[in-house]
């Protein structure tokens, strides 16, 4: 190759890299991406430039269900213009069948991920209840007593005609058994559906979508979507709803509930976020993934005086344990441990050159971590038998609940031992980090708003009724390398709070909010409309409430249910002036969440793309017909300001239906007033 050719090739290669300033709005990400490129490390951002998505898959109309395919049915201009849609796969499968099958499988995979996590929690919960492990205990007995009746477990017993409290561990064991039974249950319906407002439950019953058992329904989706089975997209989506509801109101909800009992229900606590939480003179460990079971033990291990001493012998001043993705949210909301960043920052944490160990469990873990780790000194440690990584020099330290703390210590020790292998000259930690207040479980919202003596959602309802708060939005979900990192989350959420819509958030979206300063009570004055600002200031809460990880979207369902129960805002979840959005979604879990929100009566917008656009009739089913079934529907919007506009429009429509469009006077309502509103 001539010198010119080499130069041209190098230039072409350069053009194929991501522009660090354009692909994110987060300065720490920009800095580390530039460093990665300078260090010769390719990241997801670069590959998003060189590899384009398949446009047929993006439309949802590529079928790989059998070896006669893949059958690819793009919706072309020619098809649209002709007005005749006679596309079909070899077997005759229509675009509707193909898109619905793919969509249903995404729901199944997403629900399986959340629910398998929930099952793991239930198993450890049961081991703790049976005192088979000393590392986990029943910590939040109040929550246990609260949830026990929902699982059909009595909390008191009659002895000689007198009612007596039962033993906590006895209750816990029965709750553990009942909780775990939800996975293998074959008939009837799962117990937690009864938590929903009665009219919602009746809709599910009438539609026949009450989940019989978590595993059973997921298995049935795999059967129905096999070649040559269910060929009616409406019927497929009925099963999709049945699976998704089993995620939101069972798999995820059980994970949240039992984690709270084991590790404590979150209450507001301070934390810090962004790559700037790492410290050059400390051993840095990141726990990344989703389950708090192991990370809770690493929290304990990293604080162990023996470990701290050991770190000092290696020349470190201490140990920083930070989180990434939803594991981060889990340990943050309970312990205030710092968060290093959200999904698209995982590679970049290693690029700092100061990360001694990246410990992963399950979900949202990019395989490229292994390649990036090879560029630096970072030890990538897998811990779960479900998630091993073949690439790179990954170490597997399997976590076992029976010696959980021991495993935790082994992992921390591995990180400390690696501290001395840092490569001088390749370390650069961005300074960006923000303070935040997190940990708004629905119980905490209840407590915070209702005052010290008696928790209540009534003050929130009053503020919605009197119009200070226009409505409630749930903004959740991932980052997506096909979109500008964090931009849609931030733009949408700022627009919502500016219009007096209070935001409940989880997952990677919550982290965006943290990084940009929206999770502090002080931010209310700066970003909110006057009504919401006044409420936040009076109560001392941020305008955006961080409710936890993605399985904690079940907390949003429960908060919405509490709002209905507090009265004055209708009788069902679909009556509420509320809407949901996942502006930068990417994972199948997001699709499962989207469907359980929709089936729970929520208008839910997804950003970026949605694999339904290649099948107009299927799309219409999700975007329109579902509204008449569930009082909630899907939507797809690219521009975050347009997302906000549609959510607010929906909120206003619901306010009008409740007769709240006129009731602007700021009066305090009593119970009778609220009942009058309900009757209207």
419-423: long-range pairs with CB below 8 Å, 24+: 419/283, 419/311, 419/314, 419/315, 419/316, 419/356, 420/314, 420/315, 421/377, 422/353, 422/354, 422/356, 422/377, 423/353, 423/376, 423/377
User: Which of ligand NFS, ligand SF4, none is residue 587 near (CB under 5 to 8 Å by kind)?
Assistant: ligand NFS
Q: How far is the CB of 96 from ligand SF4 (least distance, A)?
A: 12
Of 27, 79, 91, 387, the residue at the interface with ligand SF4 (CB under 6 A) is: 91
Asked if 93 interacts with ligand SF4 (CB under 6 A), we say yes
57: contact with ligand SF4 by CB under 6 A: no
> In whole angstroms, what is the distance from residue 341 CA to residue 328 CA?
8
Q: For ligand SF4, give the closer residue by CB, 312 or 617.
A: 617
Number of H helices, E strands in the chain: 30, 18
Q: How far is the CB of 101 from ligand SF4 (least distance, A)?
A: 8
Residue 470 or 555 with smaller CB distance to ligand NFS: 555
Query: How remote is the C-alpha of 400 from its chain's centroid?
Result: 25
Neighbours of 360 (CB within 10 A): 28
Rounded least distance, CB 384 to ligand NFS, Å: 15
66 lines the binding site for ligand SF4 (CB under 6 A): yes
Look at residues 37, 10, 42, 45 and name the one whose alpha carbon lies nearest to residue 486. 45
Least separation, in Å, of the C-beta of 548 and ligand NFS?
10
Type and span of the H or E element at 30: helix 27-38
DSSP 321-371: EEEEHHHHHHHHHHH---EEE-GGGHHHHHHTS--SEEEE-SSS--THHHH
Shortest distance, CB of residue 252 to ligand NFS, whole angstroms?
Answer: 10
Select 71 or 644, whichever has its Cβ closest to ligand SF4. 71
Residue from 32, 65, 550, 651 touching ligand SF4 (CB under 6 A): that is 65
569 binds, among ligand NFS, ligand SF4, none (CB under 5 to 8 A by kind): none
Q: Which of 39, 48, 55, 69 binds ligand SF4 (CB under 6 A)?
A: 69
> Phi and psi (nearest 5°) for 294?
-80, -45
Chain positions 222 to 241 lying near ligand SF4, rule: CB under 6 A, are: 227
Residue 320 pairs in a beta bridge with 284
Contact segment (CB under 6 A) with ligand SF4 among 68-76, 424-432, 510-518, 533-541 equals 68-76
**Of 50, 68, 141, 235, which lies in the binding site for ligand SF4, with binding defined by CB under 6 A?**
68
162-165 and 156-159 strand pairing: antiparallel
| Cβ proximity to ligand SF4, 65 vs 112, nearer residue | 65
> Is the Cβ of residue 58 or residue 572 nearer to ligand SF4 in the bound state?
58
Stated as kind and residue range, the H or E segment containing 288 is strand 283-288
* Least Cβ distance, residue 239 to ligand SF4 (angstroms): 17
Distance CA 486, CA 489 (A): 5
177 binds ligand SF4 (CB under 6 A): no
Which residues would be at the binding site for ligand NFS (CB under 6 A)? 290, 325-326, 343, 364, 477-478, 507-508, 550, 587, 589
What is the edge-to-edge ordering of all strands in the sheet holding 395-396?
395-396, 379-382, 357-360, 283-288, 319-324, 339-341, 269-273, 434-438
Largest CA distance in the chain: 98
Distance of closest approach, residue 558 Cβ to ligand NFS, in angstroms? 18
Could you give the 3-state DSSP secondary structure of residue 106? helix
Q: Residue 537 corresponds to which tokens in the numbers above?
A: 């200031």
Q: Is 104 in the site for ligand SF4 (CB under 6 A)?
A: no
Smallest gap from residue 616 Cβ to ligand SF4 (A): 18
- Assess 80 for contact with ligand SF4 (CB under 6 A): no
Judged by beta carbon distances under 5 to 8 A according to partner kind, the member of ligand NFS, ligand SF4, none in contact with residue 69 is: ligand SF4
Q: Indicate the Cα dihedral angle 386, 389, 390, 394, nearest 10°.
A: -130
Between 91 and 300, whose beta carbon lies closer to ligand SF4? 91
**Count of residues binding ligand SF4 (CB under 6 A)?**
14
Give the Cα separation of 284 and 512 in Å (integer).
22
Q: Structure tokens of 222?
A: 């795999």
For ligand NFS, the closer CB: 72 or 485? 485
User: What is the rounded distance in angstroms from the CA atom of residue 440 to the CA atom of residue 544?
Assistant: 10
Residues that bind ligand SF4 (CB under 6 A): 63-66, 68-71, 89-91, 93, 98, 227
């Amino acid at each position: 190759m001539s010198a010119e050719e080499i130069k041209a090739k190098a230039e072409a290669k350069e053009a194929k890299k991501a522009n660090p300033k354009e692909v994110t709005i987060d300065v720490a990400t920009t800095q580390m991406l530039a460093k990665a490129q300078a260090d010769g490390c390719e990241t997801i951002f670069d590959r998003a430039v060189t590899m384009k998505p398949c446009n047929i898959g993006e439309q949802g109309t590529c079928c790989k269900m059998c070896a006669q395919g893949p059958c690819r049915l793009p919706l072309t201009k020619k098809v649209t213009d002709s007005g005749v849609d006679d596309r079909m796969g070899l077997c005759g499968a229509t675009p509707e069948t193909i898109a619905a099958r793919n969509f249903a499988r995404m729901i199944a995979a997403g629900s399986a991920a959340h629910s398998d996590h929930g099952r793991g929690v239930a198993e450890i919960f049961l081991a703790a209840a049976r005192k088979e492990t000393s590392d986990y205990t029943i910590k939040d007995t109040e929550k246990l007593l609260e949830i026990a009746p929902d699982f059909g477990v009595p909390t008191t017993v009659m002895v000689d005609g007198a009612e007596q409290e039962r033993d906590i561990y006895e209750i816990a064991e029965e709750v553990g058994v009942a909780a775990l039974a939800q996975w293998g249950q074959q008939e009837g319906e799962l117990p937690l559906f009864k938590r929903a407002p009665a009219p919602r439950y009746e809709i599910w019953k009438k539609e026949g979508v009450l989940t019989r058992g978590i595993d059973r329904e997921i298995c049935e989706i795999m059967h129905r979507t096999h070649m040559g089975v269910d060929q009616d997209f409406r019927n497929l989506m009925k099963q999709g709803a049945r699976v998704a509801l089993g995620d939101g109101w069972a798999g995820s909800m059980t994970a949240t509930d039992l984690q709270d009992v084991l590790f404590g229900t979150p209450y507001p606590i301070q934390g810090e976020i962004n790559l700037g939480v790492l410290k050059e003179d400390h051993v840095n460990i990141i726990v990344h993934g989703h389950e708090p079971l192991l990370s809770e033990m690493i929290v304990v291990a990293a604080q162990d005086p023996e470990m701290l001493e050991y770190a000092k012998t290696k020349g470190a001043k201490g140990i920083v344990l930070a989180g990434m993705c939803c594991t981060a949210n889990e340990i943050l909301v309970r312990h205030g441990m710092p968060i290093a960043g959200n999904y698209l920052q995982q590679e970049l944490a290693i690029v700092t050159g100061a990360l001694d160990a990246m410990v992963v469990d399950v979900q949202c873990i990019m395989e490229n971590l292994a390649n990036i780790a090879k560029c630096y000194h970072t030890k990538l440690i897998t811990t779960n038998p479900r998630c091993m990584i073949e690439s790179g020099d990954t170490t597997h330290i399997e976590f076992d609940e029976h010696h959980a703390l021991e495993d935790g210590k082994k992992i921390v020790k591995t990180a400390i031992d690696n501290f001395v292998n840092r490569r001088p000259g390749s370390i650069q930690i961005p300074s960006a980090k923000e303070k935040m207040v997190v940990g708004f479980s629905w119980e905490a919202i209840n407590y915070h708003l209702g005052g010290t003596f008696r928790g209540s959602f009534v003050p929130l309802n009053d503020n919605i009724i009197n119009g200070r708060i226009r409505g409630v939005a749930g903004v959740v979900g991932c980052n997506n390398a096909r979109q500008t990192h964090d931009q849609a989350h931030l733009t949408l959420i700022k627009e919502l709070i500016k219009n007096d819509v209070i935001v409940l958030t989880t997952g990677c979206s919550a982290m965006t909010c943290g990084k940009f300063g929206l999770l502090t009570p002080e931010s209310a004055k700066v970003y909110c409309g006057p009504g919401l600002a006044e409420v936040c200031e009076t109560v001392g809460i941020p305008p955006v409430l961080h409710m936890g990880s993605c399985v904690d979207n079940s907390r949003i369902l429960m908060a919405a249910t509490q709002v209905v129960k507090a009265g004055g805002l209708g009788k069902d979840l679909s009556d509420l002036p509320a809407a949901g959005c996942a502006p930068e979604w990417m994972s199948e879990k997001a699709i499962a969440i989207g469907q359980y929100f929709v089936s729970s009566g929520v208008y839910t917008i997804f950003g970026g793309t949605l694999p339904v656009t290649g099948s107009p009739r299927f799309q219409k089913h999700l975007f329109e017909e579902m509204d008449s079934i569930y009082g909630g529907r899907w939507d797809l919007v690219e521009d975050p300001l347009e997302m906000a506009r549609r959510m607010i429009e929906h909120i206003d429509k619901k306010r009008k239906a409740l007769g709240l469009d006129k009731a602007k006077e700021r009066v305090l309502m009593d119970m009778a007033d609220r009942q009058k509103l309900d009757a209207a």
